[in-house]
Amino acid sequence: MEKNDLTNDQRLELYYWMLLTRVFDETMVTMWKQGRGVGGTFSQRGHEAISVGAAFALTPDDVIAPMHRDLGAYLLRGITPQRIFGNLLGRANGVTGGRDANLHGMGDMTLNVIGFISHLPHSLPVALGAAMSFVHRGEPHVALTFTGDGASSAGLFHETLNMAAVWNAPFILIVENNQYAYSTPLHQQMKSPEIATRAAAYGIPGVTVDGNDVEAVYAIVQEAVKRARSGEGPTLIEAKTMRMLGHAIHDGAEYVPRELLAEWELRDPVKRYRERLLEAGVADETEMAEIAQRVEVEIADAVAFAEASPLPDPATVTQGVYAGE
Amino acid sequence: MSVSSNFGFADGETINGQTREITYIAAISEALREEMRRNPDVLLMGEDIAGDFGGAFKVTKGFEAEFGARRVINTPIAELGFVGVATGMALMGLRPVVEMQFADFITSAFDSIVQFAATTHYRWKGRVPWVIRAPADGGIRSGPFHSQNPEAWFVHTPGLKVVAPATPADAKGLLIAAIRDDNPVIYFESKPLYRSLKGFVPAGEYVVPLGRANVARTGADLSIITYGAMVHQALAAAQRLANEGIDAEVLDLRSLKPLDKEAILATARKTGKVLVTHAANKLAGVGAEVAALIAEQAFEWLDAPVQRIGGLDVPVPFSPPLEDAYRPDAEKLYAAARALAAY
């Protein structure tokens, strides 16, 4: 195992959250193929180590602003599988009460989670604003957000990192470089394939991590969190990974070379971590089976709960546009 | 413009009862200063607002010295980004007031406003209590990018509130109400009124509720419905009409979103003849909504078709004869109202 401060219990926790994310995802994909879904949805496959490893390095007081490949972060921060499946199915008791689609808008400020909009780069300045609220109040917390290789082409990437650097904000940006923005491969998105090196232009640290290695992600985020808490400012982290399925559920991603997927399949973050934990003797097959059983039950219960939950009353469609009304 | 006005605060809440005459821009500064003294969660952001400089129009001059750099934040030139930052602060319970250096630049922040901030409460109950102060309006020879009135885009957006004060008292009272509101509010302040208009303003805590129009002049023969600097043009036109025995009512909307529908319908039903005007261009402007509302709900009371006068459908031109041709003024309102009265 790598050198870090994780206990064996924490390692099993990391594995549990990744497996919960994976089983949630596989269940969701199956349901959509069976026609049990509502609208579209986004697979998490291949991204589990990033969202789980990053969220695990934060405390509940820290703010997190995940996107549509960060199911693990929502789960880890306490947004339950029931509420998320409810959201996917447009139910009244989903996170957004049927207001927003799939994983969009799954914010809950009681859990310090900010929901995203389809215009992904907008999570960057909003998370920076949360970080600046900690500066304003003199609190030692941080704000972390995620974005993609595609969103890194938008102007807000520059605007936000520049402001975060000028203000020395306790802000962490993780770019999940999964090689494709919808159908557009990296080389059509940027000349240099190294996004982390852009940090130098802002005068802040930029680091790259294997996005399929949960402990490596955890360790690098933990380091950035330490820097931010001690007033040393923002960090840009590039986590390299691969989007293993299409952009969304409708997309067969025929434009991705099969051999590229086969290569990344060997580095599957969930299977890989399972093998490493077994090899290192952190858990045996019996314990692994227990975790898998627990996860299966949790997800099955969540699906049953969500499918039995009521749809929103159309009479409520105008409610909630404004706070305080 | 040298209009001196003492109307517009009759329905506001005056705490200590004292008033004195100050300029429109001084009333904006006063609202900010008082609210920052009262509430440590209120902070300011914008381009060039800090230090001794105090912003392009000096609204925040001296603020950093009093409130410190953590509450008076100079931003890089990144409107899209810093409005997003304000949204994040607001979600955390702060009440940022963002100065857009000119209202014309607000389009650079359009996504941050209409896609993120405006939708957040509906989607997941996140509260975004920020205010954007947008110095708008022309007539001061500032050209296409320092003269615009872009309020209609935001009135069309669910989740926002939009106000446009016409008097120093409303400038203060509406700004304090906007800061205290739990939703994103865009506050269009009128540059041509900044230092040309003085009026009585209550000292101390003074709040004008959002969503309530003000009858700036009562009249029986026709109604001019408007807001912002055009209120004063409408009053000047009404004075001329009065000399000819035509009694015009002037309704100052003050809030454009929510619109005070009751006040609009009341004046339409009272006079039966309505002229709607604003400096923003006419096509699909706020006046179109006002006219449609009257057509839908006060048709039986009308004695003439509702008339609209807005800016022309061109970019705001620079040279004085061109800008004057673009812009409604008292003379144009007088002529239109006279024709309406004779209908």
> What digits encode the pLDDT tens for the residues A229-260?
999 999 999 999 999 999 999 999 999 999 99
| CA proximity to A269, closest of A21, A101, A9 | A21
Which has the minimum average pLDDT: A40-49, A218-227, B17-26? B17-26
Task: Search chain A and give the residue with CA nearest B128.
Answer: A323
Domains of chain A, by residue range, sit at 8-309
Enzyme catalytic residues of B: 146
A78 falls in which pLDDT band (50, 70, 90)? Answer: very high
Q: Could you tell me which residues are beta bridge partners of residue B214?
A: B252
- Which residue, among B249, B185, B197, B253, has the nearest Cα to B223 in the 3D structure? B249
Mean pLDDT of A28-34: 97
Digit-coded pLDDT (tens) for A156-189: 999 999 999 999 999 999 999 999 999 999 999 9
Give the closest-approach CA distance of A148 to chain B in angstroms: 17
Least CB–CB distance from A106: residue in B85, B124, B183: B124
CATH no. for A8-309? 3.40.50.970
| B93 vs A contacts (CB less than 8 Å) | 133
Percent of the residues in chain A that have a pLDDT greater than 90, as a whole number: 98
pLDDT of residue A59 exceeding 80: yes
| B chain contacts of residue A116, beta-carbon cutoff 8 Å | none
pLDDT recorded at residue B14: 52
Q: A107, B85: Cβ pair inside 8 Å?
A: no
Domain boundaries of chain B, sorted by first residue: 19-200, 214-341
- How far apart are the two ends of chain B, measured CA to CA in Å? 31
Subunit contact A99:B183, Cβ cutoff 8 A: no
| Smallest Cα distance from A300 to chain B, Å | 25
Which residue in the set A63, A128, A133 is minimally distant from B94, CB to CB? A133
Across residues B178-187, what is the average pLDDT?
98
Chain B: nearest CA to A158, how far in angstroms? Answer: 9
Which residues of A lie closer than 8 Å to B, measured between beta carbons? Answer: 63, 95-96, 99-100, 104-109, 114-115, 117, 119, 122, 124-133, 135-136, 143, 155-156, 159-160, 162-163, 166-167, 320-324
Output b/e per residue, A208-220; b: 16+ Cβ within 10 A: bbbbbbbbbbbbb
Closest residue to A96, CB basis, from B43, B124, B129: B124
Interface contact B124-A117, CB threshold 8 A: no
Asked if B182 has any chain A CB less than 8 Å from its own CB, the reply is yes
Tell me the chain B residues in contact with residue A108 when contact means C-beta distances shorter than 8 Å.
124
Instruction: Tell whether the model's pLDDT for residue B43 goes beyond 90.
Output: yes
- Look up residue A126 and give its two tokens: 């909003």
pLDDT the model gives residue B7: 42
- Among residues B274, B258, B161, B194, the alpha carbon closest in space to that of B226 is found at B274
| Cβ within 8 Å, pair B126-A115 | yes
**Residue B19: what pLDDT?**
87
Q: Residue B214: is its pLDDT beyond 80?
A: yes
The answer to whether residues A163 and A215 touch, using CB atoms and an 8 Å cutoff, is: no
pLDDT above 80: residue A298: yes
Q: What confidence category does residue B9 fall into, taking pLDDT thresholds of 50, 70 and 90?
A: very low
Q: What is the pLDDT of residue A1?
A: 60
Asked if B66 has any chain A CB less than 8 Å from its own CB, the reply is: no
**Is the model's pLDDT at B56 over the cut of 70?**
yes
Query: What is the 3-class SS of chain A, one letter each residue?
Result: CCCCCCCHHHHHHHHHHHHHHHHHHHHHHHHHHCCCCCCCCCCCCCCHHHHHHHHHCCCCCCEEECCCCCHHHHHHCCCCHHHHHHHHCCCCCCCCCCCCCCCCCCCEHHHCECCCCCCHHHHHHHHHHHHHHHHHHCCCCCEEEEEECCHHHCHHHHHHHHHHHHCCCCEEEEEEECCEECCEEHHHHCCCCCCHHHHHHHCCCEEEEECCCHHHHHHHHHHHHHHHHCCCCCEEEEEECCCCCCCCCCCCCCCCCHHHHHHHHCCCHHHHHHHHHHHCCCCCHHHHHHHHHHHHHHHHHHHHHHHHCCCCCHHHCCCCCCCCC
Please check whether residue B90 touches A, CB under 8 A.
yes
Strands B214-217 and B19-23: unpaired
Q: In chain B, whose CA is at the least distance from the CA of A164?
A: B85
Task: Compare CB distances from A107 to B115, B124, B161 and report the shortest one's residue.
Answer: B124
- Chain A residues near residue B89 by CB distance under 8 angstroms: 129-130, 132-133, 136
Tell me whether 0.90 is exceeded by the ipTM. yes
B16, pLDDT greater than 80 = no
Among the partner-chain residues B88, B93, B125, the one whose CB lies closest to the CB of A126 is B88
B121–A322 CB contact, under 8 Å: yes
Q: Measured at the alpha carbon of residue B275, what is the angle toward residues B273 and B281, in degrees to the nearest 5? A: 160
Looking at the partner chain, which of A115, A162, A323 has a beta carbon nearest the beta carbon of B123?
A115
- Rounded distance between C-alpha atoms, residue A117 and residue B106, angstroms: 20
Backbone angles phi, psi at A266, to 5 degrees: -65, -20
**Count of CB pairs separated by less than 8 Å, A with B:** 140
Contacts of B80 in chain A (CB under 8 A): 125, 155-156, 159
Which tens digits make up the pLDDT trace of B239-274?
Answer: 999 999 999 999 999 999 999 999 999 999 999 999
- Give me the residues paired with residue A108 across strands: A113
CATH assignment of B19-200, given 3.40.50.970, 3.40.50.10470, 3.30.1360.40, 3.10.20.90?
3.40.50.970
Please tell me the distance in Å from A112's CA to the nearest CA on chain B. Answer: 9
Which of the two residues, B60 and B17, has the higher pLDDT score? Answer: B60
Non-local CB neighbours of B6 within 8 Å, separated by 6+ positions: B199, B200
Instruction: Name the percent of chain A lying above pLDDT 70.
Output: 99
B333: left (phi over 0), alpha (psi -120 to 50) or beta: alpha
Distance CA A28, CA A43 (A): 8
Handedness of CA B252, B258, B263, B267 (dihedral sign): positive
Q: What are phi and psi of A112, to 5 degrees?
A: 55, 40
What pLDDT is stored for residue B2 in this prediction? 35
Summary mean pLDDT of chain A: 97
pLDDT of res. B4: 37
**Residue of A142, A159, A166 for testing the chain B interface, max B β-carbons within 10 Å:** A159
Report the gap between the CA of A51 and the closest CA in chain B (Å).
Answer: 21
Q: Alpha-carbon distance B94 to B89, whole Å?
A: 5
pLDDT band of residue A277 (cuts 50, 70, 90) is very high
Nearest to A99 among B71, B86, B123 (CB): B123
Closest approach of chain B CAs to the CA of A100, in angstroms? 6
Count the alpha carbons within 13 Å of A265 in the hemisphere toward its beta carbon: 7
Q: Position of tokens 């998370």?
A: A127
Residue whose tokens read 């839908």: B296
> Per-residue pLDDT tens for B80-102?
999 999 999 999 999 999 999 99
Instruction: Give the mutation candidate from A133, A157, A173 for the B interface (greatest B CB count, under 10 A).
Output: A133
What's the CA gap between A229 and A171, in Å, rounded? 9
| Averaged pLDDT of chain B | 95
- The dotted CATH code for B214-341 is 3.40.50.920
Sign of CA dihedral B54, B55, B57, B59: negative
Give B271-301 pLDDT, tens digit per residue.
999 999 999 999 999 999 999 999 999 999 9
Q: Which residues in chain B are contacts of A131 at CB distance < 8 A?
A: 88
What are B275's strand-pairing partners? B224, B307
